[in-house]
Amino acid sequence: MEFESSNWIKDGVYFYPHLFGGIMITCALLSFSTSYFGKISVPTMPYLFPDLRVFHKNKSAKKRVRVYMDGCFDLMHYGHANALRQAKALGDELVVGVVSDEEIISNKGPPVLSMQERLALVSGLKWVDEVIPNAPYEITEDFMNRLFKEHKIDYIIHGDDPCLLPDGTDAYALAKKVGRYKQIKRTEGVSSTDIVGRILSCMKDAKSDKLFSESSGEVDNLNNTQSSKSQVNGGHISHFLPTSRRIVQFSNGKTGIRIIGAWAKFPSCYIDGAFDLFHAGHVEILKSAKQLGDFLLVGIYADHTVSELRGSHFPLMNLHERSLSVLACRYVDEVIIGAPWEVTKDMITTFNISLVVRGTISEKNPLMNGKSDPYVGSKEYGNFPNA
Ligand code: CTP
């Protein structure tokens, strides 16, 4: 029986070696030239050149999108954090310009927090990759070119509220004109002005309470601070409507980071507090706590606990507002929303806490007289820091 022979390849190589060699070299050259120089997508036999990545450089080097958002970030709140979270989602790297004190004074009036405090707060957010201090209030042509050339910015971003200069013109007009402007949704229910209002009303309430207790001869103790005013958020009205989605959005992002140079001794640390009006000191203590462990769990006291601790006019920010601010911090892995005053053995076991951390400045309120040591459970359990 005769079979069709496929020995013609062998015969060809044997009888015409030069011709065959030429064909092979031509094929190899064609495959390089068409895929690399000509950008025609002919496969380049990657299995033959696994480590010569240069041949794939056009495909793998995808440009990272860099976005810029600026702001005053005075009395930093979860509305600012939410703006930066949304901005980060529009690119790969977020650069934040913190407007200088002088520029804020001439465009809006004096800020409450200093440049250093505002910088510390912005840098502590988990969505922020780089910070530009002393940024201008207006996107001028010079500054815009600096952003594009020096900082390689692709888009300039701002909330959907109008940002006007004293002469009524739009601070972002130039960026809009060149098509490099994007907008995010402003978070309703909170603003720096609203927070200043809460502080003022808290002071006013405290003053009238003092006058009342002096005239009626009452002693300002834990019991009489439980007045009708203290029921919700120290009597200050919050317009914030917390949703589970917002909490999830704030929980995601850059968590589980390790601080370079730090030596983590404990798998999981716990720190608790009111974290009212989140400020630069809070960022600092959370950073120090994070240096002690791999995972940082933060307990945020319930509103009534804060009222008992600090007086009926507190907290200024309610539990959910305070929780979002803490969750937005880059050093925090998880929060307990409404943590109890006392760290019990049960909590330590449930959350697998290996170290309970406390700052050197602890609550020293006369209202706390007679209230138990919150860390007694953890001390007995042997995981309270000596620091
Ligand atoms: N922003 C936001 N939601 C808020 C407050 C601010 O999305 N509730 C956004 C702004 O639109 C801006 C950025 O956060 O893009 C920085 O705002 P900032 O310059 O600090 O000032 P304001 O817009 O005046 O905000 P606030 O009144 O709270 O200071």
Q: Is 86 in the pocket of ligand 1 (CB under 6 A)?
A: no
Beta strands 130-135 and 93-99 are parallel
Q: What is the mean pLDDT of each successive set of 10 residues along the chain, which is 387 residues long?
A: 48 60 57 43 41 52 94 97 98 98 96 97 98 98 98 98 94 98 95 90 74 56 41 60 92 67 75 96 96 94 94 92 97 96 93 88 53 60 48
Q: Which residue's alpha carbon is at the smallest distance from atom 25 of ligand 1? A: 191
Q: Which residue's alpha carbon is at the smallest distance from atom 16 of ligand 1? A: 71
Contact 278, 76 (CB under 8 A): yes
The reported pLDDT for the residue numbered 210 is 62
Q: Is 74 in the pocket of ligand 1 (CB under 6 A)?
A: yes
Length of the chain equals: 387
Q: Which residue's alpha carbon is at the smallest distance from atom 28 of ligand 1? A: 191
The reported pLDDT for the residue numbered 203 is 80
The reported pLDDT for the residue numbered 21 is 61
What is the rounded CA–CA span in Å between residue 177 and residue 148? 14
The reported pLDDT for the residue numbered 9 is 54
**SS3 (DSSP) at 267:** strand
Say how many Å lie between the CA of residue 103 and the centre of ligand 1.
15
* Of residues 343, 349, 337, 332, the one with CA closest to residue 384: 343
Distance of CA 36 to the CA centre of its chain: 41
Say how many Å lie between the CA of residue 172 and the centre of ligand 1.
14
| 344 token code pair | 């019990």
Bond before 133 cis per omega within 30 degrees: no
CA of 191, closest atom in ligand 1: 28
Q: Is 299 in the pocket of ligand 1 (CB under 6 A)?
A: no
Q: Is 162 in the pocket of ligand 1 (CB under 6 A)?
A: no
Instruction: Give me the phi and psi of 57, to 5 degrees please.
Output: -60, -30
Q: Is 154 in the pocket of ligand 1 (CB under 6 A)?
A: no
Bond before 315 cis per omega within 30 degrees: yes
CA of 184, closest atom in ligand 1: 7
Contact 340, 377 (CB under 8 A): no
The reported pLDDT for the residue numbered 201 is 84
